[in-house]
Structure 1
Amino acid sequence: MSKPRKKDWHPADIIAAFRKKNTSLAAQSRQAGLSSSTLANALTRSWPRGEKIIAAALGIAPEKIWPHSILIKKATG
Structure 2
Amino acid sequence: MINTREDWHPADIIAAIRKKGSTLTALSRESGLGSSTLSNTLSRRWPKGEMIIAQMIGVPAWEIWPSRYYNAKGELVVPKLRTPKAVV
Does TM, normalized by the shorter one, top 0.5? yes
Deviation at 1:69, TM superposition (A): 1.4
Question: Which secondary structure state, in structure 2, belongs to the residue aligned with residue 7 of structure 1?
Answer: coil
TM-score (norm: length of structure 2): 0.75
Q: Which has the higher contact order (CA 8 A, sep 6+)?
A: 2
Deviation at 1:4, TM superposition (A): 6.6
Which amino acid in the other structure matches residue 21 of structure 2?
Answer: N
Q: Which deviates more from structure 2 when the two are superposed, residues 2-11 or residues 30-39?
A: 2-11
**Correspondence for 2:16:** 17
**Correspondence for 1:55:** 54
Structure 1 segments of 4 or more deviating over 6 A? none
Deviation at 1:18, TM superposition (A): 1.1
Check the 8 A contact 2:3/2:70 in 1, yes or no: no
TM-score (norm: length of structure 1): 0.85
Identity %: 51
**Correspondence for 1:29:** 28
Output the CA distance in 1 between the equivalents of 2:14 and 2:2: 28
Which amino acid in the other structure matches residue 13 of structure 1?
Answer: D
Output the CA distance in 2 between the equivalents of 1:3 and 1:71: 9
Cα deviation code 1:29-76 (max 9, x no counterpart): 0000001100001000010110000001111111110112111483xx
Larger Rg: 1 or 2? Answer: 2
Structure 1, gaps ≥5 residues long: none
Instruction: Count matched residues.
Output: 73
Output the CA distance in 2 between the equivalents of 1:29 and 1:66: 19
